[in-house]
Chains A and B, each alone.
Chain A
Amino acid sequence: QQPVQSPQAVILREGEDAVINCSSSKALYSVHWYRQKHGEAPVFLMILLKGGEQKGHDKISASFNEKKQQSSLYLTASQLSYSGTYFCGTETGNQFYFGTGTSLTVIP
């Protein structure tokens, strides 16, 4: 039931782009994306509701393909502040599960 994320880890240089994928085996009502820096709380980035929408948040955007039960997070022109662990979260009915996580490191 826990969604699977890929890649598990990625290292980028400042200015490079990255894509993080989230895949579920269950039909999804919505997908959330969170970023957690070491020793801190997860911070909500965005939510995508059923309907195949794409959303943007500064240089971070995401898409949701409900038929494939997948979501992708796109980070463009990465900044040092983007470093952290990214979790997707999926809602199926009233159950919410965090994904396996993707560690993203941006280096100068």
Chain B
Amino acid sequence: SQTIHQWPATLVQPVGSPLSLECTVEGTSNPNLYWYRQAAGRGLQLLFYSVGIGQISSEVPQNLSASRPQDRQFILSSKKLLLSDSGFYLCAWSARQGDQPQHFGDGTRLSIL
């Protein structure tokens, strides 16, 4: 069966510091991969999605970037964090073929001080 792992679960970072969040998927090949941010009491906002290695689409222009160095690895980065980057970051995957639902990891809660 497929599993998705995100780490770390919780992160506290100072303003201006860099960021690297990692997500890996097991048990499937060529997945679509997604990064979302969830603000309290609000729905999920899509940040980036990827249909293959090195292929990244950005949905919201901002302080963050994403990379996919391997088929089942998706990384969310920032060179300099802002206070507004605080939030709950979720990685998700879906099967490449057809219109398949997305499956989520357990997220990273990021607090910027």
Q: Do A and B bind each other?
A: no
